[in-house]
Amino acid sequence: MKLQQLLSYTRKAVDEYQMIQPGDKIAVGISGGKDSLTLLYALHGLRRFYPNHFDLQAITVSLGYENFDLSAIRALCRQLDVPYTVVDSEIARIIFDERKEENPCSLCAKMRKGAFNQEAKRLGCNKVAYAHHKDDIVETMLLSLIFEGRFHSFSPRTYLDRMDLTVIRPMMYVNEADVIGFQHKYQLPVVKNPCPADGHTKREEAKDLLRQLNLQYPGVKNRMFTAIQEGKIAGWPQRIPHVR
């Protein structure tokens, strides 16, 4: 996927779900993975021509692993002229050493989001951008159906009243395969996740299930995504069809 196509997908999502207003300061969560770095490129590129002026702030919440080298990401942020902040934490020690969690992902995500949102507020941001793509949205729906017995997925735009922050997901129309292609084409400085639970989660199982379904029934992922958009899920904002 070329940058122009990424920007087209991003503009479509931002316009259809009214994600960005003039004067927004948007915190981009940088995990070090391909998704968050692609989101950084997308919003940096969009900022150059989008009619609603907005500012960016990149933030990484470090979980406390010693072998988590962020120097290449710092260099990328300098190249893109995006301020970058690293929040040091002891989340890994708390989860694995103190609590010895058998299923650490949910608590880790909650703690990371809490630290990220607090830093975003401290830096004067009114919005936070997550790098969830189309596959993430469909996988979340599958997880909700299988484990919760309800048809649900996270929203393109969500207001967090306790934090007075709005969460946006500008990559919701981007396929994970296109993110992988973008990563290789533009040689993104991906930092390997040092978490011992990485790749061994229920989400990975949902990813495998979706892959199998899409192989057996070509196009099923896109049909599922359409069903989510049209499913009147509680909390989803009104969609305004994108016309260029």
Q: Residue 179 domain-assigned? A: yes
Q: Residue 178 domain-assigned? A: yes
Share of the chain above pLDDT 70, in %: 95
Q: Residue 240 domain-assigned? A: no
Q: Residue 125 domain-assigned? A: yes
Residue 149's domain spans which residues? Answer: 3-229
The alpha carbon of 102 is separated from its chain's Cα centroid by a whole number of angstroms, namely 25
Q: State the pLDDT at residue 66.
A: 75
Tokens 């996988």, located at residue: 139
Q: Residue 85 domain-assigned? A: yes
Give the tens place of pLDDT for each residue, 144-198. Answer: 999 999 999 999 999 999 999 999 999 999 999 999 999 999 999 998 877 766 6
How confident is residue 33, by pLDDT bands cut at 50, 70 and 90?
very high
Query: Is the pLDDT at 242 greater than 70, yes or no?
Result: no
What are 10's two structure tokens?
Answer: 């991003």
State the chain's mean pLDDT as an integer.
91
Q: Residue 164 domain-assigned? A: yes
How confident is residue 244, by pLDDT bands cut at 50, 70 and 90?
low
Q: Residue 101 domain-assigned? A: yes
Q: State the pLDDT at residue 197.
A: 66
- Pairing mode of beta strands 84-88, 54-62: parallel
Cα angle 133, 135, 139 (rounded to 5 degrees) comes to 120
Q: State the pLDDT at residue 30.
A: 95
Three-class SS string for the chain? CCHHHHHHHHHHHHHHCCCCCCCEEEEEECCCCHHHHHHHHHHHHHHCCCCCCEEEEEEEEECCCCCCCCHHHHHHHHHHCCCEEEEECCHHHHHHHHCCCCCCHHHHHHHHHHHHHHHHHHCCCCEEECCCCHHHHHHHHHHHHHHHCCCCCCCCEEEECCCCEEEECCCCCCCHHHHHHHHHHCCCCCCCCCCCCCCCCHHHHHHHHHHHHHHHCCCHHHHHHHHHHCCCCCCCCCCCCCCC
Q: Residue 182 domain-assigned? A: yes
Q: What is the CATH number of the domain that holds 128?
A: 3.40.50.620
Task: Give the residue with greater pLDDT, 98 vs 220.
Answer: 220
How many domains does one find in the chain?
Answer: 1
The alpha carbon of 31 is separated from its chain's Cα centroid by a whole number of angstroms, namely 9
Question: What is the arithmetic mean of pLDDT over 232-240?
Answer: 90
Q: State the pLDDT at residue 99.
A: 74
Q: State the pLDDT at residue 199.
A: 57
What are 152's two structure tokens?
Answer: 């649900």
Burial 166-179 (b: 16+ CB within 10 A, else e): bbbbbbbbbbbebb
Question: What is the arithmetic mean of pLDDT over 216-223?
Answer: 96
Q: State the pLDDT at residue 106.
A: 78
